[in-house]
Amino acid sequence: MMLNVVADKEEAGAAVLIRSCAPIYGLGTIQQRRGLKTEKPVLLAGPGKVGQALGLSTEWSSHALYTAGGLELLDGPEPEHILVGPRVGIEYALPEHVNALWRFAIAGSSWISAPKKTLRPL
């Protein structure tokens, strides 16, 4: 199960796939769900790993991330530098979609899913 965040009106076909993240709290729960004792980025580097660490299932489908309780999106500090690159794992798509710079990451973070070499400053 993966975390795909709808980013527009219903039926618009706009979403953001969360490919990796850094643990803020709940590290013990994340490690237990992932079956790993590490505190390294491998713990949450990949969309399936993020879903597993968060305990996602189909029951979370259509869950509102802007309401308190459960899984929610919160504002964090604004990153100083953002990296951008092409999406990963869509080689089957049209070239303009494969090469579109629709992958974003916070520069300097070790919690970025591979491949990092395709990312450059925004």
Is the preceding peptide bond at 115 cis, omega within 30 degrees of 0?
Answer: yes
Query: Rounded CA gap, 2 and 96, in Å?
Result: 24
- Tell me the domain boundaries of the chain: 1-76, 77-122
Query: Domain 1-76's class?
Result: alpha beta
The answer to whether residues 1 and 52 touch, using CB atoms and an 8 Å cutoff, is yes
Write the pLDDT tens digit of every residue in 91-121.
Answer: 999 999 999 999 999 999 999 988 889 999 9
Write the pLDDT tens digit of every residue in 45-84.
Answer: 999 999 999 999 999 988 888 888 788 888 889 999 999 9
Class of residue 44 by CB neighbours under 10 A (exposed 0-12, middle 13-18, buried 19+): buried
Report the SS3 class of residue 94.
Answer: coil
